[in-house]
Amino acid sequence: MSLIDRHAVTVSGRGTKPMVFLHGYGCDQNMWRLMTPFFEEAHKVVLYDQIGAGRSDLSAYDKDKYNRLQGYADDLIAICDELALGPVVVVGHSISGTIALLAAKKRPELFEKLVMVGPSPSFINDGDYVGGFDRSDIDDMLEFLQLNHEGWSSQMAPIIMGNPDRPALAEELEASFCRTDPQIAKQFARATFLSDHRADLVDVNTPTLILQSDDDTIAPVSVGTYMAQNMPNAQMVLLRAQGHCPHISSAPLVSKAILDYLAQ
């Protein structure tokens, strides 16, 4: 199976400037459907499913490779190379902001700009760093996920999505979690919530936009502020948005912020 088929890569748009949209944990490329129309006029829009998600080839999963986020970053690099896309703008949600960061660190010439929606280099509180969770909270969450994938999905989706007045959003996220291969999801969760890539921030000089919801229980404002202060060429925009998935709940707002940044 080709790399393109393995990740169910789709390409759309009438423009020539390449943009790659990278979904976060428990999601797939369909989560970008409300945003891509804003970019298809001027850009070549590339979407793909990370291994274990969506229509990706589950047989391509390699436990050793994907034990670390670098394995996912290498996939991003490989797809950009395969499609001869460089230099590209990458839009990454949540942990995929860190995946894009690692890819840019390894191959800086391949990336023109990074856009991170609700990113976090580390979810665990450490001294003055407020990542949002104590280590014991993370351990309890991972244990729950290990024991009951569906129960974890049902409990966490409303917390992650926020917007309690729009329950259909949380229901969609829960369904996405449940479609993800459970065993792969469990290992990806460990790679996501136990990783610490704060030290990598200073090594990436790629121009970066950090989009941070002002009401996000997963990646609090303190995380976005920390990243903007520690990356050499980053700026943060605080969005009046609820939850950790503003690209779904507030797609026009997020799209406008990205378009304004790209127009600078």
By the 10 Å C-beta count (0-12 exposed, 13-18 middle, 19+ buried), 190 is classed as middle
For 126-191, the DSSP string reads BTTB--SB-HHHHHHHHHHHHH-HHHHHHHHHHHHH--TT-HHHHHHHHHHHHHS-HHHHHHHHHH
Residue with tokens 């589950």: 58
Active-site residue identified among 216, 247, 249, 255 = 216
Q: Is 216 an annotated catalytic residue?
A: yes
Q: Is 139 an annotated catalytic residue?
A: no
Active-site residue identified among 23, 93, 244, 247 = 244
Distance CA 88, CA 234 (A): 17
Active-site residue identified among 7, 56, 94, 255 = 94
By the 10 Å C-beta count (0-12 exposed, 13-18 middle, 19+ buried), 114 is classed as buried
Q: Tell me which long-range contacts 78-84 makes (C-beta under 8 A, separation of at least 24).
A: 78/3, 79/3, 79/4, 79/7, 79/9, 79/20, 79/46, 79/48, 80/20, 80/110, 81/110, 82/3, 82/4, 83/4, 83/9, 83/11, 83/18, 83/46
For 43, the token pair is 């850009």
Residues recognised as catalytic:
94, 216, 244
